[in-house]
Structures are given as C-alpha cells and as structure tokens.
Structure 1
C-alpha cells in the first residue's frame, strides 16, 4: 500500500471546534470504525476563544477523544476561532485535506445552529467539496481532484428534521466517553465559568436527542443527519429473485 493509499479514509467529519463532531456524529464514526472503515476528523480551529480551557488542553483532549473513536487521522487546520470568513485561503486549506484523504462521505455541521462558527463551517465544507472536484483548480499543488460521493450534516446544539438516522446503540458509552474527554468544556470545576456546555442539562439533552432519534427507528440510540440533496433509492422494495 502506498503512502497516499494509507492516508485515504472512508468518512471525513469536519468541525469548527474540537468537540463539535463528538457531540453530533461520534456515534457514526465509532460504528464505521468498528466495521473496518477508516475515519477522520478535521478541526478547523483550536477553539482558542472558548470560555474554559486553552489550546494545549483542547488539543490533548481532542487526541484522547480520537483514540476512543478509533480515528485514522485527526487534522487541525489552525484557522481562527470566530474568524471563519470563507476567505479563499481557508477554502483552499480544506480542499487540500479533502484531496489528501479522498473521503467517500463527508460530514459537516448543520447549516442552522446557534453558533455562527458552526454554520460558517457548513458553508465552507460545501465550498471545499465543490472546489476539490475541479480538475483545473490549483494544478501546481500536484494533488489530484477528488469528488466526494455524499455529504451529510449533523446536529450540534439544536435538533431538526433528520433525513437519515443511523443506529448507534452499540457502544454508546464510547460516544459519551469521547465527549467527556473534553473535560475542560463539559465538566464544571474550579476556575471554570458556567457555559451552555457545562450546565447540568446539556449532556442529558444530547443523550435524550439520541434516544429520540433511536426511538424513531426502533433502536436505543441514533444520530440524525440532514441531506442537502434528495436521497436516491433504486426501489421501494427489494429486487425480486
């Protein structure tokens, strides 16, 4: 296997901050990693403006979460927190990630969320996916164009209409552990200020949302995804023999 082949992944999840993907889509990454697929997370920023913690802590926490999730790669782009402007150089940095990892499926935050960085990330991901497939773009880099097969959007702070719900019941405790790896964000403690993330209602809300989605598909837990495009089915029923 070549070095390029070793970098390839099946599922790549983008988040504006470390912990975004853990909240909204870590169960999906866990499930696919357990099935032998290669998964990765790309954190656009280090969350350096978070009320609690610092960059060093957030990176260490992200590394612990990545180990729990069985990631093949965790990439940090180091873009500015609250500075996801959609500038060409930001899109280009994400294009390089997509072309390098060549994911079949990309996950991004939902385009509606209370945090502006999450919605900005959703927009940036869709721009980068489009540009990554353009053959004549940035030919000097030596990277080949790559066309992503599907993009789905996961929910972070809010809930909404899910076009797809994935059963994540098996190993749900690992999702909880991956979230709690970000102790500085979710666990109150000395010297930490109260935020929406470390209030006693936040993590139960996430678990309750996963239970609600699970209930809709007859499972204990599920994660909901929204699709920006219609989902194709070959038929409403299995093909006859």
Structure 2
C-alpha cells in the first residue's frame, strides 16, 4: 500500500508539471518588471538559488527586496548584509522566526501579505513546492494560505536549492557568475560545512549544457503566475 501511494504521488506530480515543461527551454536575460522580491527561507537561499539573477536585475536598474524568513545569529546577520551588498539588494527584511519553525508560524502568511501590499512586486522568487527542507515547504504553504485571503498579480519564479527541479525557464548568468560566487561565499558559516558554490554551479552548468548556445552558466526557474502557481501547489499536495 505504501509503495502504491508513493507511485500515485509521483504520477500525480508528473501530470501536474508535464503541461508546463518544454523540450526547448526558453532562455531570458533577466526578470520582467522593475520590482523583484525574494522569499528566502534562510539567510543564504537567495544567493544560492537566484543570486545571479538578482545581480543582473539590480545592475539593470531594477529594485530588489529579500525577505529572510528565519534568523539565527548576529554573525549570520552580518553575512546576509555582506551578501546583499554584492547582490545589489538594498531592501533586506529579516523575520524573527527560528530555523525549522516556519511550519508552526500561523502568522507567516499575514506577514507576507503586509510585505506584498507595501512593496507591490512584479516578481516573487521562492523555492519550489518540493524543495527538500521543511522551512522551504512552509514558505510555500504560507503562500497557499494567503491566496485564500488576497489576490496578487505578480509572477512567481520558483528556484531550486535542495531539489533539482525541472525548469521551464533559464536565465543566463554567465557574465555575473563571479558575483554570485562572492555572494555565496559571504556566508562563511555555511560554506564551512558544505560547498554551496559547487552545488549551485554544478546545476547551473548542467542546464547550460542542456540548452547549448555555448552558455557557461544559467539559473533555472519554474515560472508561473501567482494564481497558476497556487493552483499547481494544491494539485501537487492533494
């Protein structure tokens, strides 16, 4: 029975995602609109998952805000500030929740509503539904809850950290890969235990090779409208 349930879940996931997947992945130079907002479950996910895209966006004159949904230590705060400077992010918001507690934070969705209404982003970036960390999934669950209260018109760009998602969009970050590496390396406490530069770079190189065109490095995303992304999540989670 357990195996049957797992297979059923996998088939349902494929059915939900398949219409969105393309054999020839679109390649774009950057984000649409002026205002981008990143929901980063932890102080480092924004650099690992979409740091190159943030650099390109801010260098092109766009505004970018990063919401760190959890906080650990004063040292980590300093690392986050240093990374934000590299990424060109001037709007840094840190919520007061502990790591691996987001699932219990009933007001997380209300916090997001306040932030969205104040900043009116054109694009919201966050980890994909199935990213393999409890806090990453909790951020998505909060998005589901707020969808029942408010309707927003931003685009969602879901990025991978702990789940090598099959994207439906790539962004060329070859020209800013060095800056992305610098931003990741600002998180000294994190790269001391795991090579996040290699982890992110390996995935970026893989999709660059898949796309071709002599690309050196890309970031991969699953793009959908807010309403489409919420509908997808409901189907995936059953």
Which residue is 2:177 aligned to? 172
CA gap 1:163/1:45 in 2 versus in 1, 3 angstroms:
same
Q: CA RMSD in A?
A: 2.2
Secondary structure, aligned partner of 1:93: helix
Contact 2:158–2:222, Cα closer than 8 Å, also in 1 = yes
Which residue is 1:73 aligned to? 91
CA gap 1:182/1:111 in 2 versus in 1, 3 angstroms:
same
Q: Give the C-alpha shift of residue 108 in structure 1.
A: 0.8
Which residue is 2:127 aligned to? 109
Q: Give the C-alpha shift of residue 128 in structure 1.
A: 3.5
Structure 2 CA distance for aligned equivalents of residues 153 and 126 of structure 1: 14
Which residue is 2:208 aligned to? 214
Secondary structure, aligned partner of 2:102: coil
1:44 aligned onto 2:40: no
1 or 2 for the larger relative contact order (CA 8 Å, sep ≥6)?
Answer: 2
What TM-score results when the alignment is normalised by the length of structure 1?
0.74
CA gap 1:128/1:168 in 2 versus in 1, 3 angstroms:
farther
Secondary structure, aligned partner of 1:78: strand
Q: Give the C-alpha shift of residue 63 in structure 1.
A: 0.3
Of 173-182 and 209-218, deviating more is 209-218
Q: Deviations over 1:99-141 (max 9, x none)?
A: 11110110111111221111111222344366343xxxxxxxx
Of 156, 161, 186, which residue of structure 1 is paired with 2:191?
Answer: 186
Structure 1 CA distance for aligned equivalents of residues 94 and 83 of structure 2: 14
Of 21, 26, 34, which residue of structure 1 is paired with 2:59?
Answer: 34
Structure 1 CA distance for aligned equivalents of residues 129 and 186 of structure 2: 26
Unaligned runs of 5+ in 2: 1-33, 230-238
1:162 aligned onto 2:167: yes
| Structure 1 or 2: more helix by fraction | 2
Unaligned runs of 5+ in 1: 1-8, 49-54, 134-146, 188-197, 232-241
What TM-score results when the alignment is normalised by the length of structure 2?
0.74
Secondary structure, aligned partner of 1:106: strand
1:227 aligned onto 2:208: no
Q: Where has structure 1 moved over 4 Å in runs of 4 or more? A: 228-231
CA gap 1:57/1:224 in 2 versus in 1, 3 angstroms:
same
Which residue is 1:204 aligned to? 198
CA gap 1:126/1:28 in 2 versus in 1, 3 angstroms:
farther
**Larger CA Rg, structure 1 vs 2:** 1
Contact 1:12–1:103, Cα closer than 8 Å, also in 2 = yes
| Structure 1 or 2: more strand by fraction | 2
